[in-house]
Structure 1
Amino acid sequence: MTFLHTSTITAVRFVLFSCIITTYSQNTLAASVPIPSFNYKALNTFFHDKNDYTQGLQYVYELDREGKEQGYMYETTGRNGFARLVKYRIGNNRDEICEAKMPDEAFGEGMTVLGDKIYVLTYTEKKLYVYGKDCVKIKEIDYPYEGWGITTDGTDLITTDGSSTVRYFSVNDETITITENPSKAINAKINGIEVGKLNELEMINGKIYANVWKTDMIVIIDPRDNGNIKRWINMAGLPMYTGEIERTNEVLNGIAYDAKENRLFVTGKLWPNLFEICLSNATNPADPELLPAKCPGQ
């Protein structure tokens, strides 16, 4: 299935983005200039378990038992009693490789793969679960904040807590412990106005792609520029609502990037589909920020 969604009226884009900033920052929007936005095109549609309340998503390559490199999706889900980590191959049906159910009292949140371990946040339990790539739990680590999103730059764990703050934690792989690095913390913002409710995260080419909770927006944060948001993706119109669950629970959440094949995936909580998308910028097709998953012809 292929379909195209574009936003051609700049004023509409600005109003929509302004509403997000006003709603989810601690300050009110004064006067700002809209930053460039990307549109999307859905290239492929894959099966997604509509019972999964998606909290974390990441696509990685690993060697299978025969020594062949294969692509796998890791996903974590929320809701007490239903939270789990699952590893699978994407397709018309899910080919699950392994799964780990979390304790009933745990509300699973974001996850990221760093080295040979998977790090999974919990919502209010203040625990960070560590798993092997066989979905076997290795350790529980005390974590001092509310857990929302998590990603990695290949060295540190990078997390959010529902505010605009993005925190960095160094990892000791031998002892499987983490240490916060307060000096690296940043606040996501546009023109000095902080943007909160940062949820699922994905590191792509040095930028942090973040879902903004209960919106159709993905913001692109530059950690090397003190957390400034350089671009945003308008995901409005992506078909997801099945009518079986309350709309407020079925929000966009889940970003995964296949760096080898340059594929970008998105999904949402309780969605029946996982989408491969590409990005475009009608006003500036040469925008260098389009390089991850740039639509053909851009």
Structure 2
Amino acid sequence: MKKYKILTITILTAISWHCSEPKDLFNIDSTGLKQVYKPNESIQLKIENKKEIAIDSVVYFANEVKLGTAKKNNSLTIKLNQLLFGTQDIKALVYYEGKNASCITSFELVSNITPKMLAFTIVNTYNHDIEAYTQGLEFHNGILYEGTGQRGESSLRKTDYKTGTITKKIGLDPQYFGEGITFFNNKLYQLTWQEKVGFIYNPDTFEKEKTFDYFKDIEGWGLTHNDKYLIMSDGSNTIYFLDPNTQKLVKSIQVYTDTSKIEQLNELEWIDGKIWANVYQKDAIAIINPENGAVEAVLNLAELKSKIKQHPEVDVLNGIAYNPKTKTIFVTGKNWDKMFEIKINP
């Protein structure tokens, strides 16, 4: 897979502009426009009208959402805090002489928050199944549940985390590659990777009660929940909020630092009102504001890799479980022989 460096990705989005037919009448004036903006900024959109044609009005849009209508000087000032992070496709619909023409430009909107770096302390170290290709990890009613991946090896299991003993386990059908897990209203949800379906189980018996299709053609990676939504990742920088009853999309956010988008978001966990996300191929966790996608902090767990058994199958950090009873966080990785209970330093 393509690798990304957290917090240091270079944005390559370039500003471009053009108008539809008839050509060469209007453009969005690019004077002073930048490639990258932050929400605390504003921009002035105006039309370049070299042939001085009489313009009746201009309607501006961002990603097909109307921003406003300009009549005086055909310009409109936009406060960028009303827009979501990501590429902003700006369109101007110019009305003139009973006709209209559309012009477009684009820029990137990133966060205005510089993520702080968190430090942690290891509280305990536990045994973990070295053959578990960990995809999802979550506490429910004091019990640690784990979902694992790989076709023909994917499973769902309950674990006595203090001993590492697996107390209950079922395997997925061989065609499925298991991914993230979570709970909602005492139901256990599990994603699959490329099969575009998820499963709902009875958490006590592991009886499968429902299979559901994804809301669109995406992969399944991480899964968590708050008190209202299932929250899903697909390996991009987008996080989706789903209706837990229908598994349909309600809204989404794009995850950004103050310099770049953060892609390959993987296993997710909801902790104290924030989304914690493993970043695939990185020994780090991003702590994300669920309202706008801003990365507010980063937890570097690279040192844990040196504390596990080194073997040919050992893979990346993956798996975050918050234990509300102890208010500590459990982390592990794919084919790691250890699981770590940690707390964040003040």
Change (3 A) 1:227 1:93: closer
Q: Give % identity.
A: 37
Higher relative contact order (CA 8 A, sep 6+): 1
Secondary structure at 1:237's aligned position in 2? helix
Distance (Å, rounded) in 1 between the aligned partners of 2:344 and 2:321: 14
Secondary structure at 1:75's aligned position in 2? strand
Larger Rg: 2
Corresponding position of 1:57 = 137
Distance (Å, rounded) in 1 between the aligned partners of 2:230 and 2:206: 19
Corresponding position of 1:141 = 212
The Cα shift of 1:113 comes to: 1.0
AA aligned to 1:267 is: T
Alignment partner for residue 119 of structure 1, among 156, 165, 189? 189
Corresponding position of 1:8 = none
CA-to-aligned-CA distance 1:169-209 (integer Å, 9 cap, x gap): 1022xxxx32211xx21011112621110000000111000
- Considering only aligned residues, what root-mean-square deviation do their CA atoms show, in Å? 2.4
Runs of 4+ in 1 over 3 A off after TM superposition: 21-34
Q: Does the 8 Å CA contact 2:10/2:259 hold for their aligned counterparts? A: no
1:157 and 2:230 are equivalent in the alignment = yes
Secondary structure at 1:43's aligned position in 2? strand
Distance (Å, rounded) in 2 between the aligned partners of 1:33 and 1:125: 36
Mapping of residues 20-31 of structure 1, within 5 Å: 20-23=6-9
Q: Does the 8 Å CA contact 1:27/1:193 hold for their aligned counterparts? A: no
Distance (Å, rounded) in 2 between the aligned partners of 1:77 and 1:192: 33
AA aligned to 2:200 is: V
The Cα shift of 1:30 comes to: 8.4
Mapping of residues 7-18 of structure 1, within 5 Å: none
Distance (Å, rounded) in 1 between the aligned partners of 2:184 and 2:7: 31
The TM-score with structure 1 as length reference comes to 0.77
Which ranges of structure 1 fall in alignment gaps of 5 or more residues?
Answer: 1-17, 62-70, 281-297
The Cα shift of 1:242 comes to: 2.4
1:188 and 2:255 are equivalent in the alignment = yes
Distance (Å, rounded) in 1 between the aligned partners of 2:188 and 2:328: 21
The Cα shift of 1:240 comes to: 4.8
Distance (Å, rounded) in 2 between the aligned partners of 1:60 and 1:26: 42
Distance (Å, rounded) in 1 between the aligned partners of 2:336 and 2:285: 17
1:48 and 2:134 are equivalent in the alignment = no
Secondary structure at 1:111's aligned position in 2? strand
Alignment partner for residue 324 of structure 2, among 235, 255, 259? 259
Change (3 A) 1:170 1:253: same
CA-to-aligned-CA distance 1:205-246 (integer Å, 9 cap, x gap): 11000000011110000012x110111101111135523224
Count residues with an aligned counterpart: 245
Corresponding position of 1:212 = 279
Distance (Å, rounded) in 1 between the aligned partners of 2:277 and 2:254: 13
